[in-house]
């Protein structure tokens, strides 16, 4: 029998045989093993760490590979059952963040979470969205006969038999009443009506998080090294220390819980080489700072138990592991999270909701494409700044210096001021070339880093908007069943109420995104233009100062 995942692997006296689940194009320069799906690999070392094993293919090739890309097989079975798993996710620009159902499970050794770490870090201040006021401008919200909207414990019985084979997503399962969960201490997430439409209710205790003081740590007597960062929430001012793998675990838990209707931005990509270079460590720290602050700014996600546990659990190893296991056992995930959402009592015109959805879809696609173009142009500009612009100015500087050396052959006193002025001009253009070479760090790098962060946010919206589209389509299917007398009026009403809740959640998430988008992009462009202005002013000042050397030689 084939068993999936690391927890199912048994230690035996003989070499472990595993079967590959997916294609893996390994980086041979880094000692990684490439293989195709359905190959048999002999595992030679499972103690590499960070989810990597070492193994050997049938052709004798050896190397490292991700343990989640394989399953252990009992080779004595003549026909081991093959699990019907999707291929590993590939995420080009703008693709949706992978859902829990789409991802191979991530293994965790669970043995290094509670080291006794301590330090301090500053906290930043962030502004919440404006306080909501009553408004009904979007989604076709009607004030007529508002009623308390709750999730009734009914499912479609007759209709479910007809629709169950087409139930593909957690969102669809939710509106058909299939989601059941013990909410326990899960906080209720309220949606209110603001001037811009539905919004998540602001957190009563907003806070931010600072990521600082990256330190290289090691374990297993130095065999394994990693970078640890201090995380300091502003409301506790007590730092905790986390590795990148801990951020990765948090992302997996948040994505599993909220991916139906809430955008969990993607983490920065993992790095295999150059992880301990100072420039990379600082860039990674800044990326994690932006990522965790965006999570802290979300009025729903920031109040989740798993996020609170991540930013506050510190010294007690038992408490940390208990909180970790509790998060991983959370039942209110995916479609079941919607059970904890309390929308406004007003009804929603689902026809208008569908039109609004179409508008949001067009907007995110257009923004995604525009950001992609800026990224491409920005990367080209950086190459020009550090290449052609720098080199051409320095070439001109060399030519001017050569000219000044030629003029030195004329030893008449009248020629000396011009020779000196040309030398100063040569120095000026050499300096300008260096300015171009360094300038991208002040303007293009920050701009592209911000837009790249939004790439991770935009990538989640196709999934979120697609969930709403599938829910609206499913509601129409149920409506047709009602017309055929296969679904009762009460069942139809329940489906409609749950569909409206999904529409409210998606609209609230879109409005949350739009609120911070305006502030973020205004800041990106303000800082970019300020850096450009300062850069060109410095060039102007350099040229003006150089021009002074020629004034005495030119008659008025």
Question: Cα-Cα-Cα-Cα dihedral of 323, 326, 332, 334, to 10°?
Answer: 80
| Structural contact between residues 196 and 212, judged by C-beta atoms closer than 8 angstroms | no
Residue 123 domain-assigned (yes or no)? no
Which residues, at least 6 apart from 477, have a Cβ–Cβ distance to it below 8 Å?
Answer: 163, 166
> Which token pair is 42?
């002999």
What pLDDT score was predicted for residue 140?
A: 75
Whole-angstrom distance, CA of residue 5 vs CA of residue 53: 13
Give the bridge partners for 199, in sequence order: 192
> Which token pair is 370?
């525009």
Whole-angstrom distance, CA of residue 437 vs CA of residue 445: 13
Residue 44 domain-assigned (yes or no)? yes
Residue-level pLDDT, tens digit, the chain, 556 residues: 333 333 333 333 346 889 888 778 777 766 788 888 889 999 988 877 767 888 888 888 888 888 888 887 754 443 333 333 344 333 344 444 444 444 444 444 444 444 433 333 344 445 666 655 555 556 777 655 555 566 766 665 544 455 554 556 889 889 988 888 777 767 789 999 999 999 999 988 899 999 998 888 766 655 677 888 999 999 999 999 888 889 999 999 999 999 999 999 988 877 655 567 888 888 889 999 999 999 999 999 999 999 999 999 886 778 888 888 988 988 889 999 999 999 999 999 999 999 999 999 999 999 999 999 999 999 999 999 999 999 999 999 999 999 999 999 988 888 899 999 999 999 999 999 999 999 999 999 999 999 999 998 999 999 999 999 999 999 999 999 999 999 999 999 999 999 999 999 999 999 999 999 999 999 999 999 999 999 999 999 999 999 999 988 877 6
Residue 17 domain-assigned (yes or no)? yes
Pairing of strands 341-342, 189-194: parallel
Residue 65 domain-assigned (yes or no)? yes
Q: How many angstroms from the chain centroid is the CA of residue 511?
A: 18
Helix (H) or strand (E) holding 497: helix 489-551
Distances (CA, A) of 124 to 129, 206, 518: 16, 12, 19
| Structural contact between residues 332 and 256, judged by C-beta atoms closer than 8 angstroms | no
Whole-angstrom distance, CA of residue 524 vs CA of residue 448: 9
Q: How many CB atoms lie within 10 A of CB 308?
A: 16
Three-state DSSP at 229 gives strand
Give the bridge partners for 104, in sequence order: none
Whole-angstrom distance, CA of residue 335 vs CA of residue 219: 40
What pLDDT score was predicted for residue 116?
A: 37
Residue 58 domain-assigned (yes or no)? yes
Whole-angstrom distance, CA of residue 139 vs CA of residue 509: 13
> Which token pair is 553?
């030689």
Parent domain of 79 = 3-88
DSSP string for 146-178 = -------S---SHHHHHHGGG--SHHHHHHTT-
Backbone angles phi, psi at 165, to 5 degrees: -70, -15
What pLDDT score was predicted for residue 117?
A: 39
Q: Taking the chain, what is the end-to-end CA distance rounded to the nearest angstrom?
A: 96
Q: Which of 499, 473, 511 is nearest to 149 (CA)?
A: 499
- Provide the angle, in degrees to the nearest 10, between the axes of the packed helices 416-439 and 390-407: 170
Long-range contacts made by residues 434-440, C-beta under 8 angstroms, separation at least 24?
434/390, 435/535, 435/538, 435/539, 436/385, 436/386, 436/389, 436/390, 436/393, 437/385, 437/386, 437/390, 439/385, 439/531, 439/535, 440/381, 440/382, 440/385, 440/386
Question: Cα-Cα-Cα-Cα dihedral of 241, 246, 251, 253, to 10°?
Answer: -110
Helix (H) or strand (E) holding 360: helix 350-384
Residue 288 domain-assigned (yes or no)? no
Phi-psi category of residue 140: left, alpha or beta, with phi > 0 → left and psi -120 to 50 → alpha: left
> DSSP class of residue 67?
G
- The count of domains in the chain is 1
> DSSP class of residue 32?
B
Secondary structure percentages of the chain, helix, strand, coil, to 5: 50, 15, 35
Backbone angles phi, psi at 117, to 5 degrees: -105, 150
Quickly count helices (H) and strands (E) in the chain: 12, 14
Q: How many angstroms from the chain centroid is the CA of residue 199?
A: 22
Residue 33 domain-assigned (yes or no)? yes
Give the bridge partners for 62, in sequence order: 56
Query: 511-541: string of b/e by CB count within 10 Å (b at 16+)?
Result: bbbebbeeebbeebeeebeebeeebeeebee
Distances (CA, A) of 268 to 262, 450, 454: 19, 12, 12
Residue 430 domain-assigned (yes or no)? no
Give the bridge partners for 231, in sequence order: 211, 240
What pLDDT score was predicted for residue 317?
A: 76
Q: Domain containing 81 — which CATH number? A: 2.30.30.40
Whole-angstrom distance, CA of residue 400 vs CA of residue 394: 10
| Structural contact between residues 18 and 8, judged by C-beta atoms closer than 8 angstroms | no
């Amino acid at each position: 029998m084939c068993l999936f995942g690391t927890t199912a692997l048994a230690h035996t006296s003989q070499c472990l045989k595993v079967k590959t689940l997916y294609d893996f194009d390994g980086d041979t320069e880094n000692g990684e093993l490439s293989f195709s799906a359905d190959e048999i690999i002999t595992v030679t070392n499972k103690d590499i760490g960070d989810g990597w094993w070492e193994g050997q293919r049938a052709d004798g090739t050896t190397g490292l590979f991700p343990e989640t890309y394989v399953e252990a097989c009992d080779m004595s079975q003549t026909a081991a059952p093959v699990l019907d798993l999707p291929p590993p996710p590939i995420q080009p620009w703008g693709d949706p963040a992978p859902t829990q159902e789409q991802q191979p499970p991530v293994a965790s050794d669970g043995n290094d979470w509670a080291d006794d770490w301590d330090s301090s870090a500053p906290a930043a201040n962030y502004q919440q969205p404006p306080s909501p006021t009553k408004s009904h401008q979007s989604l076709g919200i009607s004030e007529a006969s508002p009623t308390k909207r709750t999730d009734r414990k009914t499912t479609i019985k007759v209709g479910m038999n007809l629709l169950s084979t087409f139930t593909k997503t957690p969102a669809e399962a939710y509106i058909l009443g299939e989601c059941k969960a013990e909410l326990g201490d899960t906080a209720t997430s309220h949606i209110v009506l603001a001037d811009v439409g539905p919004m998540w209710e602001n957190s009563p205790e907003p806070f931010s998080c600072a990521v600082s003081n990256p330190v290289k740590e090691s374990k297993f007597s130095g065999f394994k090294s990693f970078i640890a960062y201090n995380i300091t929430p502003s409301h506790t001012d007590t730092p905790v220390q986390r590795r990148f793998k801990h951020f990765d675990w948090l992302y997996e838990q948040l994505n599993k819980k909220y991916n139906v209707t809430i955008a969990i931005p993607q983490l920065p990509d993992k790095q295999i080489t150059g992880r301990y270079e100072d420039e990379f460590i600082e860039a990674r720290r800044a990326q994690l700072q932006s990522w965790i602050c965006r999570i802290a700014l979300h009025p729903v996600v920031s109040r989740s138990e798993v996020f609170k546990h991540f930013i506050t659990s510190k010294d007690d190893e038992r408490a940390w592991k208990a909180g970790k296991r509790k998060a991983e056992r959370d039942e209110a995930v995916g479609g079941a999270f919607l059970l904890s959402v309390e929308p406004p009592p007003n009804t929603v015109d689902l026809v208008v909701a569908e039109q609004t959805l179409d508008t949001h879809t067009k907007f995110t696609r257009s923004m995604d494409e525009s950001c992609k173009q800026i990224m491409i142009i920005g990367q080209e500009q950086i190459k020009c700044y550090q290449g052609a612009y720098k080199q051409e100015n320095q070439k001109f500087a060399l030519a001017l210096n050569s000219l000044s050396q030629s003029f030195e052959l004329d030893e008449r006193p009248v020629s000396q001021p011009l020779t000196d002025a040309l030398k100063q001009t040569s120095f000026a253009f050499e300096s300008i070339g260096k300015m171009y070479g360094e300038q991208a760090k002040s303007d293009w790098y920050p701009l592209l880093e911000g837009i790249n962060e939004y790439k991770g946010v935009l990538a989640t919206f196709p999934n979120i908007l697609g969930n709403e589209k599938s829910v609206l389509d499913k509601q129409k299917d149920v409506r047709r069943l009602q017309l055929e007398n296969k679904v009762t009026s009460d069942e139809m009403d329940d489906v409609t109420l749950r569909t409206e809740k999904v529409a409210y959640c998606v609209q609230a998430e879109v409005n949350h995104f739009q609120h911070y988008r305006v502030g973020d992009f205004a800041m990106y462009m303000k800082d970019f233009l300020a850096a450009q202005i300062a850069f060109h002013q410095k060039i102007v000042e350099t040229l003006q100062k150089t021009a002074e050397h020629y004034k005495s030689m030119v008659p008025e």
